[in-house]
Structure 1
Amino acid sequence: MDNELIVEKSWWKRNWKWFLPTFLLIFLFLFGLILSSSMDGNVMDIAQAYSDNSLYEKAIEKAKTNQRVIQVIGEIEPIDKLAILEGNAVYSNNNNSVELSVRLKGNKGKGKMDISAVKDRKGWKYKKINIRIKEPKEEIQILKDTIEKK
């Protein structure tokens, strides 16, 4: 009788043919589920806000002139594209109205900027610009609702 040692294949070598495609399908399903869900806003709205630089850049210019913002946040850094993706954007009225929330960073602190705007032929008209700060808990109103409602 031969006394040979039988070496079994590892679990991975025996099962990779079904495990790998199953894992990829589950990953793609979860990725699609996340994209189609509206957990933190519509993906299309965030993509549109991502591509519309003038919307938040002009709002930042207005915020930079506020003395309280300068005291609490300091010199506001340009918004990076990741801040837009982390934010929340809701477009309505055939993409002519927007409610946008985006994070801000300055050399003294950070906060979130809330923008409400309406688009006309000349560009974005801001209805409201607020900056919310956690430390100290405060909301700085940059621009009040100045557009008349019909």
Structure 2
Amino acid sequence: MDNELIVEKSWWGKNWKWFLPTLTLIFSLLFWLILSLSIDGNVTDIAQAYSDNSLYEKAIEKAKTNQRVLEAIGEIEPIDKLAILEGNAIYSNNNNSVELSVRIKGSKGKGKMDISADKNGTEWKYKKISIRIKEPKEEIQILKDTI
């Protein structure tokens, strides 16, 4: 009589071939659903803001000259691409006007930068740039349209 031990495969060993593709599909669908719901279907606006570096880079340069911003947040770091995806962008007027909100991080703290701008040719003309911080709760006006 043979006394060989029969070792059965684990659940993972038996089912990984169908489980991994199914899990990938589920996560892809959830990611797409969350993305489309969280930004009210404005995927194209976020993509446009993502690709228009000058819009937020020039606003950051203006904010870096504000003394109150330097006191509250410190030296502002460049905005990473994930911050743009997490933010909110609404384009209007045939994509020549934008309302953008994006998180920023500085050497002393963090906050949200709100930008309102109109495109004049290839350049953005800023109507409003402000930074909101939580601690202490404050909104710092960098630029405010006086019209």
When normalised by structure 1's length, the TM-score is: 0.80
Q: Which runs of 5+ in 1 are unaligned?
A: none
> What is the match of residue 81 of structure 2?
81
Is the alpha carbon distance of 1:118 and 1:108 closer, same or farther for their aligned partners in structure 2, counting shifts above 3 Å?
A: same
1:96-141 Cα offsets, whole Å, 9 max, x none, are 1111111222222221110011112151111111110111111011
Q: Per-residue deviation at 1:64?
A: 1.7
Q: How far apart, in 1, do the equivalents of 2:130 and 2:2 lie?
A: 83
Question: Equivalents in 2 of 1:104, 1:12: separation in Å?
Answer: 43
Distance 1:8 1:104, change over 3 A: closer
Q: 1:95-110 counterparts in 2 under 5 A?
A: 95-110=95-110
User: What residue number does 2:69 align with?
Assistant: 69
**Distance across 1 between alignment mates of 2:12 and 2:75:** 55
Which residues of 2 match residues 1-150 of structure 1 at below 5 A? 7-35=7-35, 37-40=36-39, 42-146=42-146, 148=147
What's the secondary structure of 2:65's corresponding residue? coil
Matched to 2:89, the amino acid is: A
Indicate the SS of the match to 2:89. Answer: strand
TM-score (norm 2): 0.81
CA distance in 2, matches of 1:13, 1:136: 54
RMSD: 2.4
Structure 2 residue runs without a partner (length 5+): none
Cα 1:10–1:75 change in 2 (3 A) is closer
**Residues 14 and 67 of structure 1: CA distance in aligned 2, closer, same or farther (over 3 Å):** closer
The alignment partner of 1:29 has SS state of helix
Evaluate the alpha carbon distance shift between residue 28 and residue 80 of structure 1 in structure 2; reply closer, same or farther with a 3 A threshold.
Answer: closer
Q: Tell me the percent identity.
A: 83
Distance 1:102 1:28, change over 3 A: closer
Q: Distance in 2 between matches of 1:67 and 1:23?
A: 50
Aligned residues: 146
